[in-house]
Structures are given as structure tokens and as C-alpha cells.
Structure 1
Amino acid sequence: MRQNPSFAMTDIAELRRVVEQNPWATLVAQGDDGMVASHYPVLLDPERDDLTIVGHVGMPDDQVLHLGERELLVIFQGPHGYISPSWYGDVRAVPTWNYTAVHLSGIPEIVDTTANLRILDDLVTHFERALPQPRMMWELPNTEEFVRALESGTVGFRLTPTTVSAKRKLSQNKPDRIVENVIAELDGNGEYAQPELAAEMRRARQARLAHRR
């Protein structure tokens, strides 16, 4: 991902927030016949406070990705959306796309059965806890035999990235009045409204203002 100092994200807490809020990740690796990609939910390792992540893939994706043997790039995509030049007012401008993305790469560690079961349990708990009547992995009518049979068809991994690249392109290079206009449009009810992106822009703007003080 091409970097621009104006858009670089380096704060670990902010990177962890983006990863935590956007767990549906793209996993990319060099396959035998070219680049390959898979898509899976990935979480921060609950036992670490850095950017270590945990997840699983279904067989035979572990072989397709050469999991544990080759470098794995894991991409987390935050809120994003189209930005019209008409939102800038009477100035020369072209369309653009605002977005937040975090890239983590390294050679993942393949975990054992016990750790993989814990990862699968954490994934289920993470997503089910938002529901009014959560259904946990080990809860009946699921049985231990059923859960372990499912686990045997997956490969769990832990990745502590050796390379981190993160970008928050949210109109930081524009005057405050333009940023405010863009946020208002994204918060509106137009064709390209995107409230989550507006919230990200507010967050970036507040951080920039705090840095000026």
C-alpha cells in the first residue's frame, strides 16, 4: 500500500481499533500458480496487547495459502466511500475515495487443536454476544463430538506481524471548511451517504486539531 505521510496511521491503539471493528479480513499469499486470496473473520489475540491476530481457515485453504510456510498478508478494510468534488464548493477538484485500511503481514504460526478450539470459541462468542439470545459454540444441541468434528476441518493460526502498513485517507489534506462539508454530506441522506465514514472523519479531524494545540 503506497504511503503518504499525511495519511499514515501509526498509533497502535488506533490500529487495534480498526482491526477490532472490522474483523472480516482478506488473507493474501503467494500460491503455487500465482497470488491467492481467501476471506475469513480474524480477531486480535486476547492474550496480547500488540497487533497479534488469530483466526482459522477451512481445509484445503491452508494448503492453497501455504499457511505457516509463506508470508501471509491480512487486510482489514474500515469504512470507505465516494467523495464528490461538488462537496468541496467552488474550487478545482476531482472525485476521490476516502478509506481506512490496515495491512498486517508475516509468517503465521499454526496452532494446536486446543488453541484452535479456543479461537473458534472466541470467534463465536465475539459475534453472538451482540444478539439478544446468543448461541454459544458448546451450547446444546451442539455436542462436544460435533464441535470437535468441525474443528478437525479447520486450521487455526496466530500471526504477529513483521510488517505493518496502515492508512487513513480522510481528507486530512483539505481545509477545515471542506472537511466539515464532506462530513455533513456523508451524514446526510444522499446517494453516497456513509455515516460510519463520517464518524471516522470526525475522529481523524479531532486528532488533528488536538495535535495542533
Structure 2
Amino acid sequence: MLRNPHHVDDDPEMVRELIREFPWAIIVSSHDGAMVASHYPVLLDEETASEGGDLAVVTHVGRPDDKNHVFDGSEVLLIIQGRHGYISPSWYEPGTTPAPTWNFSVVHAYGVPEIVDPDENFRVLTRLVAHFEQHVDDPMYLDPEVGRPLSRGTVGLRIPITRFQTQIKMSLDKDPQSRQNVIDHLRQPGHYQDPALADDMERARARRGE
């Protein structure tokens, strides 16, 4: 991934925030020259997620994805994608270099998956269901009689993140007025309206103390 110093954030807490807000990942591995990519929900391993603790996620893959990935002690790439949207150069201040672009947040995290035992896999699945059902009016919880047979069709994983790269590309390489213009355009009604992305830009600006 291209590393632009304007967009790099090496704070592990930023990684945690992105995973908490967007708990959907692409798991990428390579075996015998073949690339494999799968899409699964992930959660932070909250037991180690306190500030300064180990950075790790828990997830699962459905069988036979475990055979496709061949979790044999090799490193995998975990991609977490946050909000993103098109940015028109027409929004910049006059005199700036006009180049169409895209604002986005992403983390590329790397680690060696640990296959968990069946009991832990069931606990992870229970956590996942509880997490995503929390805003449902009548939430469903994973009853052991139903959940345990389902869990046998999955392989539970804990992935300690040993290194990561982030790109928080929120127009931080532009002049302050151009950044504000982009925020204002994203908040206006119309095809490019994206107030949540504008909020991300505001937060990125605040993190830089601007």
C-alpha cells in the first residue's frame, strides 16, 4: 500500500477504532502461489484490547474456507475498510493542483492465525451474534442446542496483529480552506452528499490538532 506521510497514522488505537466501527474484513492468504480472499465479520479480542495491550481479532471461516486458506502458520493479511467517497477537485481552492481523488480509511493488518478449540469457537460465534443483534428490537441469542451444531461448520480463529499499515486519507494534504470546502460539499444535499465521511474528515483534522 502506498505510504503517503500525510495519511499515515501509526497509533494502534486508530486500528482499534476502525475495527470497532467497521467489523467486516477481507482475509487474504497465499499458498503454493495461489491467492485466496474471504470476507468475514471480526471483533477485537477485548481481553487484550485495552490501551497498550496486544492487538488481536477473533473471527471464523466457514468450511471449507479453512482448506482454501491452509492456515499452516503462515502470515495472512487482514483488510479493514472504513468509509470512503469521491472527492471532486472542483471543491478545492483556486490555484491548487486539480486531481480527482477518493477519501477513505483503511488498515492493512498482518498476523499468523491461531485456530481455536471448538468451545472457544462457539464462544466467539456467540459474541459475534450478540454484537450484531444488539440493536435489534427482538434480538436472537445463540442457543447452545442450535449454535453448537452450527459452529461445527466453522473454524474459529484468533489473529494477533503483529504489524499494520494505515491510510487515513481525509484531504489532510490540502490547504485548510480546501479541506473545509470538501467538508461543506459533502454535507450539501445531492449526489455526493456524505455527512458521515465529512464527520470522519473533522475527526482526522482534530487528531492532527487542527
**Category of TM-score, reference length = shorter chain:** over 0.9
- Do the aligned partners of 1:68 and 1:109 also contact (CA within 8 Å) in 2? no
SS of structure 1 residue aligned to 2:61: strand
For 1:190 and 1:204, locate their aligned partners in 2 and report how far apart those are by CA, in whole Å.
Answer: 24
- Do the aligned partners of 1:20 and 1:44 also contact (CA within 8 Å) in 2? yes
Tell me the residue number matched to 1:2.
Answer: 2
Tell me the residue number matched to 2:116.
Answer: 111
Tell me the residue number matched to 1:65.
Answer: 69
Q: How many residues align?
A: 205
**1:88 and 2:110 matched:** no
For 1:119 and 1:68, locate their aligned partners in 2 and report how far apart those are by CA, in whole Å.
Answer: 21
Tell me the residue number matched to 1:78.
Answer: 82
Tell me the residue number matched to 2:25.
Answer: 25
Tell me the residue number matched to 2:140.
Answer: 135
Q: 1:90 Cα deviation (Å)? A: 2.6
SS of structure 2 residue aligned to 1:209: coil
Using structure 2 for the length normalisation, give the TM-score: 0.93
For 2:206 and 2:146, locate their aligned partners in 1 and report how far apart those are by CA, in whole Å.
Answer: 49
After superposition, where does 1:45-64 map in structure 2 within 5 Å?
45-49=45-49, 50-64=54-68
Q: Which moved more, 1:115-124 or 1:61-70?
A: 61-70
Q: 1:51 Cα deviation (Å)? A: 1.9
Q: 1:166 Cα deviation (Å)? A: 1.0
Tell me the residue number matched to 1:141.
Answer: none
For 1:67 and 1:193, locate their aligned partners in 2 and report how far apart those are by CA, in whole Å.
Answer: 42
Tell me the residue number matched to 1:159.
Answer: 159
The alpha-carbon distance between structure 1 residues 148 and 184, as it changes in their structure 2 partners (threshold 3 A), is same
Q: 1:4 Cα deviation (Å)? A: 1.6
After superposition, where does 1:181-200 map in structure 2 within 5 Å?
181-200=181-200
Q: 1:114 Cα deviation (Å)? A: 1.1
Using structure 1 for the length normalisation, give the TM-score: 0.92
For 1:195 and 1:76, locate their aligned partners in 2 and report how far apart those are by CA, in whole Å.
Answer: 21
For 1:22 and 1:127, locate their aligned partners in 2 and report how far apart those are by CA, in whole Å.
Answer: 12
Note the aligned Cα RMSD (angstroms).
Answer: 1.3
Q: 1:209 Cα deviation (Å)? A: 2.5
Q: 1:68 Cα deviation (Å)? A: 4.4
